[in-house]
Amino acid sequence: MARAGLDLDVVLQAAIMIADSEGLESLTIAKLALVLGVKAPSLYNHIRSLDMVKDDLTTQGWLLLLDRSRDAVAGVAGRDALDALGHSQRQFAKDHPGLWAATQLPVAGWSDASQKAADAYLALALAVLRGYGATGDAAIHAIRVLRASLRGFIDLELGGGYGLPQDVDVSFCTLLKMLDAALRLQETPTL
């Protein structure tokens, strides 16, 4: 019964590792305990429930993505910023599929911390859109389109939805190009 020296942080790091390598749905208490070398009930000395752990992944996912995207869009604007945002998001999802999946969980189950982290990301995206002159309600509608198309593309790609042989990288660049083109047109509201 030698102590394993566990700690909330150690448990969460293991959770991230499992979610990223085997998928968020494979993150179970049993697997977590196995990886950490303890029996399942021991984990409850450090965590409240598996759902809480998953919610923490949601928060961590948004924060890590925010961190990466902030760096990527720093100092650029317009099309370059849009590309930076898109590519950093797609790359994040490939590097951390488990964390990405956690950020896409239904909002209903989110904690305040997750909500706040997601809001911070939203603010960053809004800043990118300001480079296209979008403000007010138009900016909200535009950002919903941006979020939707990026999320949909990434989920489809990770879910094996793009089975045809055509290069998916080219498809993603097409998406960014189309978004850029459409945003430019919106820029000048129907005068």
Partner DNA sequence: TTATATAGCTAATTATCATAGTTTTGAGGT
Partner DNA sequence: ACCTCAAAACTATGATAATTAGCTATATAA
**Which is nearer to a copy of itself, 34 or 158 (by Cβ)?**
158
**Choices 31-39, 75-83, 87-95, 171-179 (CB under 8 A): range interacting with a copy of itself:** 171-179
Burial class from Cβ neighbours inside 10 Å (0-12, 13-18, 19+) for residue 154 reads buried
- Angstrom distance (rounded) from CA 15 to CA 29: 9
Nearest distance from C-beta of residue 180 to a copy of itself, angstroms: 9
**Restricting to residues 116-145, which ones interact with a copy of itself according to CB under 8 A?**
137, 140-142, 144-145
Nearest distance from C-beta of residue 112 to DNA, angstroms: 19
Other Cβ atoms less than 10 A from the Cβ of 183: the count is 21
Is 113 one of the binding residues for a copy of itself (CB under 8 A)?
no
**Which partner from the list a copy of itself, DNA, none does 79 bind, CB cut-off 5 to 8 Å by kind?**
none
**Which is nearer to DNA, 17 or 138 (by Cβ)?**
17
**Cα–chain center distance at 146:** 14
Query: Which residues here bind DNA, judged by CB under 7 A?
Result: 1-6, 27-31, 33, 38-42, 44-46, 48-51
8 Å CB contact between 126 and 81: no
Nearest distance from C-beta of residue 74 to a copy of itself, angstroms: 26
Structure tokens at 190: 């129907």
* 5 φ/ψ sector (left φ>0, alpha ψ -120 to 50, else beta): left
8 Å CB contact between 82 and 179: yes
Structure tokens at 58: 């949601």
Contact footprint for a copy of itself (CB under 8 A): 104-108, 137, 140-142, 144-145, 147-153, 155-156, 159-164, 166, 168, 170-171, 174-175, 177-179, 181-183, 185-186
